[in-house]
Amino acid sequence: MNVSRVEMTDLLPIEELKTLVEPGKVLTDAASLETYGKDWTKHYAPAPSAIVFPKTVEQVQAIVRWANAHKIALVPSGGRTGLSAAAVAANGEVVVSFDYMNQILDFNESNRTVVCQPGVVTGALQQFAEDKGLYYPVDFASAGSSQIGGNIGTNAGGIKVIRYGLTRNWVAGLKVVTGTGELLELNKDLIKNATGYDLRQLFIGAEGTLGFVVEATMRLDRAPRNLTAMVLGTPDLESIMPVLHAFHGKLDLTAFEFFSDKCLDKILGRGDIPAPFESRTPFYALLEFEAVNEDVANTALATFEHCVEQGWVLDGVMSQSEQQLKNLWKLREYISETISHWTPYKNDISVTVSQVPAFLADIDTIVSGSYPDFEVLWYGHIGDGNLHLNILKPDALSKEEFFAKCATVNKWVFETVEKYNGSISAEHGVGMTKRDYLEYSRSPAEIAYMKAVKTVFDPNGIMNPGKIFA
Amino acid sequence: MNVSRVEMTDLLPIEELKTLVEPGKVLTDAASLETYGKDWTKHYAPAPSAIVFPKTVEQVQAIVRWANAHKIALVPSGGRTGLSAAAVAANGEVVVSFDYMNQILDFNESNRTVVCQPGVVTGALQQFAEDKGLYYPVDFASAGSSQIGGNIGTNAGGIKVIRYGLTRNWVAGLKVVTGTGELLELNKDLIKNATGYDLRQLFIGAEGTLGFVVEATMRLDRAPRNLTAMVLGTPDLESIMPVLHAFHGKLDLTAFEFFSDKCLDKILGRGDIPAPFESRTPFYALLEFEAVNEDVANTALATFEHCVEQGWVLDGVMSQSEQQLKNLWKLREYISETISHWTPYKNDISVTVSQVPAFLADIDTIVSGSYPDFEVLWYGHIGDGNLHLNILKPDALSKEEFFAKCATVNKWVFETVEKYNGSISAEHGVGMTKRDYLEYSRSPAEIAYMKAVKTVFDPNGIMNPGKIFA
C-alpha cells in the first residue's frame, strides 16, 4: 500500500501539470528527459522527471504555483549551451523549457528596443536588429543556439564586452515570474527610473534561482561602421598587455581577444580556416575597431608599427573586406567548438586587467609544473581580464581519471584567483560546477545575504535549487 | 524620576557615540543640526539629534552597531544636494556625514579606475580624471558639491546619460556597511564576475536604506575629443523629437537636452550669459557630440540644414571654441539654480523616448488648464525621456498656498505618468517627497519585495527609515 501511495503522489502532480499547458506540452519520454535535462557540461547525468513547455506567461505562473503546491523543483531551460550546469536537471526536477516562447513581440524604432520572449535565440535577435539597420552587440560562440532568457540568467558576456558591456547593459525591462508565481514588470523599459531598488538587476545573472524571465525588452545600438579586425602575433604572453594599452589609448576598440599558438594549431587542423599570416608566433591578439575613415585606419597601422618597433608584435594582418573580417574572427570564435573533441577541462576566470600578466604567469606555472603532459590552451577576452583556461584530455587517460586530476587543478586555480581578488566565474555562471568554490570569490557574509535574498523571492526553494549554492 | 530616566537613556547613547569617533566629531549644536539635517528640498524642518563624522570604515561599522544596540535611526549625508529629501533628518535621527571621508585613495591607469571614499565631491573626481587625461562622465548642475556616495545612493544621472549611462555604469566595485554593521566588498572592481547575485546593483540607488557606501571604485573613460555643442531653436515642442532622431541616426551624441523659451528668459535675465542667437523661439534643443574631424562637423551641419528645411528648426548655432561650448551649456545648466529664486514646485519624471511628445502635451494641458496663472517651465534630458517640470510660485501666493495647490498638481502628474508607464522619479530618487506616490510607478508586489529585501540587509530598520517607503 505504501508503494502504491507513493506512486499516486508521484503520478498525480504530473497529470495535474498536463492540464496547465497545451496538449502534448509535457514530455516524459527517455529521449526528451536526456535532451532537456542537460546543458553543454558533461559532468552530470540528466535525470528530470518531466519537461514542460509553456506558451504564455500565465502558463508559467500556473506551473510555478503548481510546483509550490507540490514542492517540486523547477529548472529553467533555454538553448542549453551553458557551461556551468545551471540548466542541468539531475535530481528529478521538472524542466521548464522556453522553446515555445520564442517570438519577438514588438519593435520600437524610436526607443531602439525589441520586446522578446525568453526563448528568442540570441542570433535571431542579432539578425532582427541587423534587418532594422541596428545592432544587438552581445555576441559569443554559442549565439546561434543560446536563448535570450538564458543570456539574462547568466548575464552573458562574450567578445564585445570591452566596448558594449555585458547583457545587463542591454536589458531595458524585464517581466519575471517569481518563486511564488507572482508576475513582476521591472523597469518598464525606461532609461531613467529612480524609484527604489532596481530589482531587474537582481534577476540578471541569478541563473533562474529567484524566478523565471518571461519577457525581456532588449535595447539595440546603432550599427557599427566598417568593422575592421587585426590579428597580431606576439613573442610571448607578456607582450599582449602593452599591445592592448597602445591600441586602447588610440582607438575605440570593439574587441580585444587573445589565443595561444596551440589554439591556432587546432583551428588550422580543421582545414577550413586560413592562417592569418605565414609565420607562427607563441600568442596572438585579435582586436577590432570601427574604421570610420582613413584617419582611423592610419592610426591603427601606426600603432601596429609602434608595437613592432617595441618588440611586442612580430607579425600582423588587418582585414580589408567583410570576408577577411569573418575569417579572422573564426580563428578565435571556433576554438571552443573545435577543441570540444578533446573533452577539455574548462575554466572561465577573471581578474582586473592590470593583474592579468602576473595572474596568468602564476596559473601557467602551476598547471604546467604539475602536469607537464597536459596540453594547456589559453584564450579569452583579455581586454576585460577574462581568461578561458582549457586543458585537453590526454588520450591515455580515461575521462574519470582526467576529471579527477582536474579537480586538483580547480583548487589551485581558485586559490590563485582568490589571491588576485578575481572571479571564479567570469561569464559562465556558478551553476553546479562552481557552487562548491563560491567562497573563493564571495565572502561568507555575501553568500548568507544572497541566500536570504533567494528566500525572499523563492520561499519554498523550488526555483533551480542546488545552483549557485547548495 | 521617569523624566530623569528618559533623559538618562537619551543622553547615554550620544556619549557612547562620542567614544566611537575622533574627539569633536559628534556635533549637537543648533546650527549644525540645521545645516546637516536637510538637503536641497525645502519642505521638511530638519530635526536630527546629532551629527557624527566618521573618518574610517571601522568607525562607520561601529556607528551602525551602536545604532542597532540603541534602535536609533541613521541618515547618511553627503553633499546634501538631493531633491527628494532622502538625506533629510526630520525625526530625531543621527546624521552620518561623510565630509571627512573625502579622499581619493588609489588610481589604476591600466584599469582606468579610481578608488574613492564616499565623501569625494563629484567635481573633484571629474577634475582628477581630467588631470590624468581621462574622463568621469556623470555630470549635472550640482556636481560642484554633491558627493560620490550620494551619487551612488541615488544612481545619479544628469546631462550625459544618452551616451554614458547613469552612475550605475561607472561603479566597478563597492564597499558597503550593511544595516547590521557588516562590511561587504562587492564585485572587487572586476569587469566580468558571474558569481551569483550582483548585490552591488542593489545598493546603487537604494538611497542609504540598505547600508552605507564606505568606498567606491569608479571607472573612468577616455577623454572626449573636441566636444562641440549646438543650440537649435524650434517652433514648438513637437519638433524637438524629430530633431533628436535626425541627429541620433547620424552622430554619436554625448547629450541631447531641451529647455523652453521661458527658461531662456530667466537665464538671460541674469545678465551674465549671452543669448545663443538673436532670434527667440518657443523651445530649444542643446545637443553635443565629438567633432573628431571635418566629416563629423559637416554631417552635423548637413543635419541641421535638413532640420531647417523640414521646418523643425528655425535658428541655430554651433560652438567653435571651448569658451562657446561652455557658454552654450550655461544656458541649460544654470536653469535650476537661476529659478530657485522663485521657490519652484519641481518634478522629475520620465517615460520612454517615443512617448515623450504625447506625454508632455498631456501634462502641459493639465497644468496650464487648471492654473493658467502659473508659470510653467520645462527643461530636461529629453534624449533619455527625462523631463523636469518646474512651476514658479506666483508672488501673490504664500509658500503654503502654493505648495498646497502643487500637491494637486502632483497627483495629476503622477496619474499621467502611470498612464504612460513612466517613472515618478527619473533621477532624483524617492526619499520622502515621493514615497507616498511610489505605487504610481511600482506595483504593490514590487514594493512588498523591496520591503522584504530591506529587512534582509537592515533587520532593525535603522538605515534611513521613512525614505523610499514609509
Ranges of each domain in chain B: 2-97, 104-222, 227-336, 343-428+437-444
Q: Calculate mean pLDDT across residues A387-415.
A: 90
Pick the residue from chain A with its C-alpha nearest to B445: A184
pLDDT at A155: 98
Q: Which residues of B touch A252 (CB under 8 A)?
A: 222
Q: Does A193 touch chain B (CB under 8 A)?
A: yes
Spell out the residues 6+ positions from residue B289 whose beta carbon is closer than 8 angstroms to its own.
Answer: B227, B228, B247, B251, B252, B253, B254, B296, B300
pLDDT at B7: 44
CB pairs under 8 A between A and B: 227
How crowded is residue B269: how many other Cβ atoms within 10 Å of its Cβ?
Answer: 10
CATH of domain B227-336: 3.30.70.2190
Q: Which residues of B touch A447 (CB under 8 A)?
A: 196
Q: Which residues of A touch B420 (CB under 8 A)?
A: none
Q: How confident is the model at residue B343 (pLDDT cuts 50, 70, 90)?
A: confident
How crowded is residue B270: how many other Cβ atoms within 10 Å of its Cβ?
Answer: 11
The model's pLDDT over A121-171, given as tens digits with 9 standing for 90+, comes to 999 999 999 999 999 999 999 999 999 999 999 999 999 999 999 999 999
Q: Please check whether residue B440 is in contact with residue B349, taking contact to mean a CB–CB distance below 8 angstroms.
A: no
- Determine the Cα–Cα distance for residues A213 and A118; give it in Å rounded to an integer: 6
Q: Identify the H or E element spanning B387.
A: strand B386-392
- Determine the Cα–Cα distance for residues A77 and A94; give it in Å rounded to an integer: 10
Could you give the C-alpha distances from B393 to B18, B335, B373, B380, B425, in angstroms and in order?
43, 16, 10, 20, 22
Q: Does B433 touch chain A (CB under 8 A)?
A: no
Residue-by-residue DSSP string for B455-466: HHH-TT--BSTT
Q: How confident is the model at residue A305 (pLDDT cuts 50, 70, 90)?
A: very high
Distance in Å, alpha carbon of A408 to nearest chain B alpha carbon: 21
CATH of domain A2-97: 3.30.43.10
Q: What does pLDDT average to over chain A? A: 94
Q: What does pLDDT average to over chain B? A: 94
Q: How confident is the model at residue B10 (pLDDT cuts 50, 70, 90)?
A: low
In the CATH hierarchy, which fold is given to the domain comprising B343-428+437-444? Alpha-Beta Plaits (3.30.70)
CATH of the domain spanning A343-428, picked from 3.40.50.1100, 3.40.50.1220, 3.90.79.10, 3.30.70.2740: 3.30.70.2740
- Determine the Cα–Cα distance for residues B304 and B315; give it in Å rounded to an integer: 9
Place of cell 492540464: A19
pLDDT at A43: 79
Q: How confident is the model at residue A212 (pLDDT cuts 50, 70, 90)?
A: very high
Place of cell 522663485: B342
Nearest to B440 by CA among A114, A213, A196, A198: A196
Q: Which residues of B touch A450 (CB under 8 A)?
A: 196-197, 199
pLDDT at B80: 96
pLDDT at B13 over 80: yes
Residue-by-residue DSSP string for A338-395: HHGGG--EEEEEE--GGGHHHHHHHHHHHHHHH-TTSEEEEEEEGGGTEEEEEEEPPT
The model's pLDDT over B21-40, given as tens digits with 9 standing for 90+, comes to 999 999 999 999 999 999 99
Q: Which of A83, A138, A183, A190 to mutate to test the interface with B (most CBs of B within 10 A)?
A: A190
Give the Cα-Cα-Cα angle A387, A390, A391 (nearest 5 degrees): 145
Q: Do B191 and A468 touch (CB under 8 A)?
A: no
Q: Does B352 touch chain A (CB under 8 A)?
A: yes
Q: Does B450 touch chain A (CB under 8 A)?
A: yes
Spell out the residues 6+ positions from residue A317 whose beta carbon is closer than 8 angstroms to its own.
Answer: A230, A231, A276, A277, A328
The model's pLDDT over A293-302, given as tens digits with 9 standing for 90+, comes to 899 999 999 9
Q: Does A16 touch chain B (CB under 8 A)?
A: no
Give the Cα-Cα-Cα angle A37, A381, A142 (nearest 5 degrees): 30
pLDDT at B4 over 50: no
Q: Do B185 and A293 touch (CB under 8 A)?
A: no
pLDDT at B3 over 70: no
Q: Do B438 and A154 touch (CB under 8 A)?
A: no
B 55-84 near A (Cβ less than 8 A) = none
pLDDT at B470: 86
DSSP designation for B117: -
**Class of residue B364 by CB neighbours under 10 A (exposed 0-12, middle 13-18, buried 19+):** middle
Distance in Å, alpha carbon of B36 to nearest chain A alpha carbon: 23
Q: Do A423 and B193 touch (CB under 8 A)?
A: yes
Q: Which residues of A touch B157 (CB under 8 A)?
A: 192, 194
Distance in Å, alpha carbon of A185 to nearest chain B alpha carbon: 8
pLDDT at A408 over 90: no
Q: Does A86 touch chain B (CB under 8 A)?
A: no
Buried b or exposed e, range B438-468, using 16+ CB within 10 angstroms: bebbbeeebbebbbebbebbbebebbbbbbb
Q: Do B154 and A188 touch (CB under 8 A)?
A: no
Q: Please check whether residue B388 is in contact with residue B28, taking contact to mean a CB–CB distance below 8 angstroms.
A: no
Q: Do B204 and A191 touch (CB under 8 A)?
A: no
Place of cell 566629416: B295
Q: Which residues of A touch B252 (CB under 8 A)?
A: 222
Distance in Å, alpha carbon of B127 to nearest chain A alpha carbon: 19
Q: Say whether B343-428+437-444 and B104-222 share the same fold.
A: no
Spell out the residues 6+ positions from residue A451 whose beta carbon is closer than 8 angstroms to its own.
Answer: A469
Among B191, B196, B201, beta carbon nearest to A201: B201
Q: How confident is the model at residue B207 (pLDDT cuts 50, 70, 90)?
A: very high
pLDDT at A437: 96
Q: Does B366 touch chain A (CB under 8 A)?
A: no
Give the Cα-Cα-Cα angle A264, A267, A271 (nearest 5 degrees): 130
Q: Please check whether residue A253 is in contact with residue A291, taking contact to mean a CB–CB distance below 8 angstroms.
A: no
Pick the residue from chain A with its C-alpha nearest to B387: A192
The model's pLDDT over B414-452, given as tens digits with 9 standing for 90+, comes to 999 999 999 999 999 999 999 999 999 999 999 999 999
Q: Does A436 touch chain B (CB under 8 A)?
A: no
pLDDT at B371: 81
pLDDT at A11 over 80: no
**Class of residue B323 by CB neighbours under 10 A (exposed 0-12, middle 13-18, buried 19+):** exposed
Pick the residue from chain A with its C-alpha nearest to B441: A195
Distance in Å, alpha carbon of A15 to nearest chain B alpha carbon: 30
Q: Does B188 touch chain A (CB under 8 A)?
A: yes
pLDDT at A251: 94
pLDDT at B1: 34
Q: Calculate mean pLDDT across residues A56-83.
A: 97
pLDDT at A56: 98
Distance in Å, alpha carbon of B240 to nearest chain A alpha carbon: 13
Nearest to A177 by CA among A203, A207, A157, A151: A203
pLDDT at B382: 92
Q: Please check whether residue A445 is in contact with residue B182, taking contact to mean a CB–CB distance below 8 angstroms.
A: yes
pLDDT at B283: 96
- Give the E-state strand segments of B109-244 in sequence order: 113-116, 134-135, 171-178, 183-186, 211-219, 221-222, 227-234
The model's pLDDT over A249-269, given as tens digits with 9 standing for 90+, comes to 899 999 999 999 999 999 999
pLDDT at B407: 85
Q: Does B202 touch chain A (CB under 8 A)?
A: yes
Q: Please check whether residue A116 is in contact with residue A217, taking contact to mean a CB–CB distance below 8 angstroms.
A: yes
pLDDT at A403: 86
The model's pLDDT over B101-158, given as tens digits with 9 standing for 90+, comes to 999 999 999 999 999 999 999 999 999 999 999 999 999 999 999 999 999 999 999 9
pLDDT at A9 over 70: no
The model's pLDDT over B274-310, given as tens digits with 9 standing for 90+, comes to 999 999 999 999 999 999 989 999 999 999 999 999 9
Q: Which residues of A touch B449 (CB under 8 A)?
A: 178, 184, 199, 456-457
Percentage of residues of chain B with pLDDT beyond 70: 98
DSSP designation for A423: B
CATH of domain A104-222: 3.30.465.10
Q: Does B295 touch chain A (CB under 8 A)?
A: yes
The model's pLDDT over A367-379, given as tens digits with 9 standing for 90+, comes to 888 888 888 899 9
- Determine the Cα–Cα distance for residues B49 and B70; give it in Å rounded to an integer: 14
pLDDT at B54: 98
Place of cell 535571431: A124
pLDDT at B342 over 70: yes
- Give the E-state strand segments of A72-206 in sequence order: 74-77, 94-97, 104-108, 113-116, 134-135, 171-178, 183-186
pLDDT at A1: 34
| Residues in a beta bridge with A212 | A177
Q: Does B453 touch chain A (CB under 8 A)?
A: yes
Q: Which residues of B touch A352 (CB under 8 A)?
A: 108, 111, 113, 188-191
Q: Does B243 touch chain A (CB under 8 A)?
A: no
B 89-108 near A (Cβ less than 8 A) = 108
Q: Which of A61, A195, A243, A428 to mutate to test the interface with B (most CBs of B within 10 A)?
A: A195
End-to-end distance of chain A based on CA atoms, in angstroms? 34
Residue A377 backbone phi and psi in degrees, to 5: -115, 125
Q: How confident is the model at residue B52 (pLDDT cuts 50, 70, 90)?
A: very high
Distance in Å, alpha carbon of B255 to nearest chain A alpha carbon: 14
Spell out the residues 6+ positions from residue B97 whose beta carbon is closer than 8 angstroms to its own.
Answer: B36, B51, B52, B53, B77, B78, B119
DSSP designation for B206: S
Q: Do A192 and B424 touch (CB under 8 A)?
A: no
Q: Please check whether residue B312 is in contact with residue B247, taking contact to mean a CB–CB distance below 8 angstroms.
A: no
